Amino acid sequence: MLLPIKLICPKGKVRKDSTCIIFIQYCGDKTVLLNTELAVPPKYWNRKFRRITTDLPATYGTDDLNGQLATLLRKASDIITHAVKKKVLDIPTFVKKTFHPAFDTALLEEKAQQAAALNPKTNLDLTFQIEDYIKCKRGKVSAGMLNVYKNMKDHMTAFQEHRSLTITFDSFDFNLYESLINYLTYDYVQRRRSEVIDGKKEQIKGLKTATVGKTIKQLRIFLRDSIRRKIIPPIDLSDFKILDEEADVVYLTWAAITRIYQTDLSEYPYLAKCRDLFILGCLTGLRFSDFSSIQPEDVRKGSLYKNRKNQIIGSLFHCGI
């Protein structure tokens, strides 16, 4: 198992006796340095091969220091591998607290159990975690974005019921991804939509490719958020591709927008506001739900600032037409 660990001898940490401690650097969610308690002058450290040079004076150690370093590196590797296997939430902290040159790896199981006892039990039910994720987003994103999250939760809940098998965070692999894509594309029942076939009202099954892609996108964002918060251990999401489909790009030219803006609506005054909002949408790229809810406080120093879903955008307010 290839782990992100290596031996380093930082030049900037020279001690009074002109030596530098050799550390094992582990780069997980955060970087930690493990003290090997071995030290040499920086000039006797080969940075390319990460080992002590053969011309090290005997005054700094007569034993096989490189052999000792190799042993300590394996010990750190064993600790990390065990932590991953036991699904320790904060692996860097666990490794930092556990590693010591004299540590006996036979005690790893005991250490892992102690670490688990210190962490409160987390409810790892998928639906519970998604609902908690949505609660955390309230007040931070628009109502429309909350609905996107809720749709993702509904799709995952329906998929779990369809499988008749609980989806755990260990389940997220390519097989589950493929099954989820197939289910949403062909088997998902749209509860609020139906069509008439041979005189009978039938529920519509399957979602559009763009809708399936949106669910996968939000699922990935949710999982990565859970990983960052150390609720779950890291998951390889490289196979969770976001599906998309080509869409026709429909737009108006400046000349067409100008003609609409200058259209005489004196006989239909009630359409003037609709015309103005439409022009504003063309010029800013805002959706109807966004530009129809603009408030006076959204305009600051000649620019329009609008919370569009979970993004803050600024666009020039002066149209120049």
Q: Report yes or no: 263 and 275 within 8 Å, Cβ to Cβ.
A: yes
133-160: pLDDT as tens digits: 999 898 888 888 899 999 999 999 999 9
CA angle, corner 128, sides to 212 and 233, nearest 5? 80
8 A C-beta contact, residue 6 and residue 80: no
DSSP-based three-state secondary structure for 312? strand
Helix (H) or strand (E) segment spanning residue 77? helix 65-85
- Between 144 and 212, name the one with better pLDDT: 212
* Backbone torsions φ then ψ of 305, nearest 5 degrees: -115, 120
Residue ranges per structural domain of the chain: 5-118, 126-228, 254-316
Classify the phi-psi angles of 303: left when phi > 0, otherwise alpha if psi is within -120 to 50, otherwise beta: beta
Instruction: Decide: residue 83, CB within 10 A, 0-12 exposed, 13-18 middle, 19+ buried.
Output: buried
Span of 74-78, 114-118, 121-125, 208-212 with lowest mean pLDDT: 114-118
Q: How many CB atoms lie within 10 A of CB 111?
A: 19
CA distance 118 to 4: 26
Across the range 30-45, mean pLDDT stands at: 91
Find the helix packing angle between 108-118 and 91-98, rounded to 10°.
Answer: 130
Question: Smallest Cα–Cα separation from 307: which of 64, 70, 137, 91?
Answer: 137
Chain CA centroid to CA 44, Å? 42
Q: Which residue has the tokens 């609020």?
A: 192
In three-state secondary structure terms, 136 is helix
pTM of the full structure: 0.48
Q: Span 220-238, mean pLDDT?
A: 90
What confidence tier does 106 reach under pLDDT thresholds 50, 70, 90?
confident
Section 39-60 average pLDDT: 90
What's residue 1's pLDDT? 43
Distance CA 259, CA 256 (A): 5
Identify the CA nearest to 40 among candidates 70, 25, 72, 62.
62
CA 129 to chain centroid: 15
User: For 23-35, what is the HEC assignment?
Assistant: EEEEECCCEEEEE
Tell me the per-residue pLDDT of 264-282, one tens digit each, with 9 for 90 and over: 999 999 999 889 888 888 8
CB 308 within 8 A of CB 290: yes
182, 209 Cβ separation under 8 angstroms: no
Mean pLDDT rounded to a whole number for the chain: 84
Cβ atoms of 149 and 133 closer than 8 Å: yes
Cα–Cα distance measured from residue 319 to residue 317, given in angstroms and rounded to the nearest whole number: 6
Cα–Cα dist 285/94, whole Å: 49
